[in-house]
Amino acid sequence: MERDSVLQKLERIRIKEFLETYEIDEKDIKEFEFFLFKESVWMTTKEVFNFNPKGIKIVRKGLRVYRIFEHSLKPTTSGIQIIGKNAKKKKVYLNPSQALKFMKGEKVEISSKERGFVIVCFKDTILGVGLLKNKELKSQVPRSKRILKDFKKAL
């Protein structure tokens, strides 16, 4: 792996802040290891983290859960669907037409007082991450994961 270091102090503080912001219980993630790789924070099991045999090329370990920006952590779609399961704060719930727009990567108007990166849900399912500003929700779903067509049984 390019870089596989134990989390630096700053990132550790940021993760703690992130968990507090979304009110995610640390107990939910205590079994996992977090590490820096490719300008992101990854999450995996202790067994995977410690697996480094000689002579076998390791491509990646675990799941990318946050991308690191200068002042914040941006959760990934796949990451938030796992870590955000038990989050209690910064969740927004969409109606069917809003959810379809979100999955297609479009902007959605919503009435919420939240700001910043939020966990976007449809009923009890986490769809991904949205950037909420002035009641406009910008879908952060990567292009490759978006739904391309409307489909009457999509929801």
27 touches another protein by CB under 8 A = no
Report the residue number, 48 or 68, with the smaller CB distance to another protein.
48
In whole angstroms, the minimum distance from the beta carbon of 113 to another protein comes to 25
Residue from the set 2, 39, 47, 70 that interacts with another protein by CB under 8 A = 47
Residue from the set 7, 19, 68, 82 that interacts with another protein by CB under 8 A = 82
Q: Cα 15 from chain centroid?
A: 12
**Gap between the Cα atoms of 36 and 64, Å rounded:** 9
Q: Which of 21, 60, 23, 64 is nearest to 40 (CA)?
A: 64
Taking a C-beta distance cutoff of 8 angstroms, is the pair 145, 81 a contact?
Answer: no
Scored b (16 or more CB within 10 A) or e, 127-151 reads: bbbbbbeeeebebbbeeeeeeeeee
**Among the residue ranges 5-13, 16-24, 49-57, 131-139, the one whose residues contact another protein (CB under 8 A):** 49-57
143 touches another protein by CB under 8 A = no
**Among the residue ranges 6-14, 106-114, 123-131, 132-140, the one whose residues contact another protein (CB under 8 A):** 123-131
